[in-house]
Amino acid sequence: MKRIGIFYNPKLFKSIQKLKERVEFLQKNGYIISLLESQKRKRLQGISYVEDFTKENIELLIVLGGDGTILLASKLVLKENIPLLGFNHGKLGFLSECEKHEFEPVFSEIQKGAYEIEERMVIECITVSNSGKKNFALNDCVLYKGKYPKMLTFKILDDNEYLFDIEADGIIVSTPTGSTGYNISAGGSIVFPNTNVLLLTPINPHNQFVKPFIFSAEKKLSIQYIKGNEKIYVAIDGENVETMKKYEQIAIEKSSYTSKFIKLPDKTFAKIVREKFID
């Protein structure tokens, strides 16, 4: 694993020095480095610049930033089967395997082959009656009302079988990876990343007895927007991608694609939960 791509959050790397230090460290250890043309920086020597990251030009993508940067990076290599390794330069950084100060010791372990590649579920979200566009989410798909005040009503179907209606400010459908994101803030459960489930969590439900639901990931969820504002928003991994009008429907199911992450032996999920949420 000698061909490495770097994707970074430009807001956190306004100064070239931090990025330059990481690039030079990798080069000294025999790694060939590629950056996207869109992230080209002066004063970086011996770098290959590419339009896209593909398995022909890199074997590993290093992500320097916070969780949002990792979510963006995951889309860049989703269909290329390229693993990610995140270094947290943000705040919570739950998706990052390592903290920024661990950069050099972590690569000592990688050179020894002391790692595994962990696969994370991705969901496909298709607005059936609107654009028909397919979006991929590593974390979650959120339907919400934005700045408008009305309570929203959704009809929930499981493999086209009607289950129930939910009145709420919105709905979160998350992957196990996304369970520690917006889902947990809305009262949903934390589940281990290798769990094969989909989580549906209402946002501020009107009925206090309506609780989060957990479905088998082999199911296909359909959510129809049936009452409320003229339009609502569809956010994929925290980014608004489109709107839905009344009686339009979105279908959500497990994708055949998975996101790959480098996993180090001392970075267990239980340990990360303790460090980020409890300790």
Residue positions annotated with a catalytic role: 67
**57 contacts 5 by C-beta, under 8 angstroms:** yes
**How many other CB atoms are found less than 10 A from the CB of residue 18?**
16
The full DSSP string for 56-95 is TT-SEEEEEE-HHHHHHHHHHHGGGT--EEEEE-SSS-TT
Q: What gap in Å lies between CA 94 and CA 52, rounded to an integer?
A: 26
In 3D, which of 175, 178, 190 has the Cα closest to residue 121? 175
186: left (phi over 0), alpha (psi -120 to 50) or beta: alpha
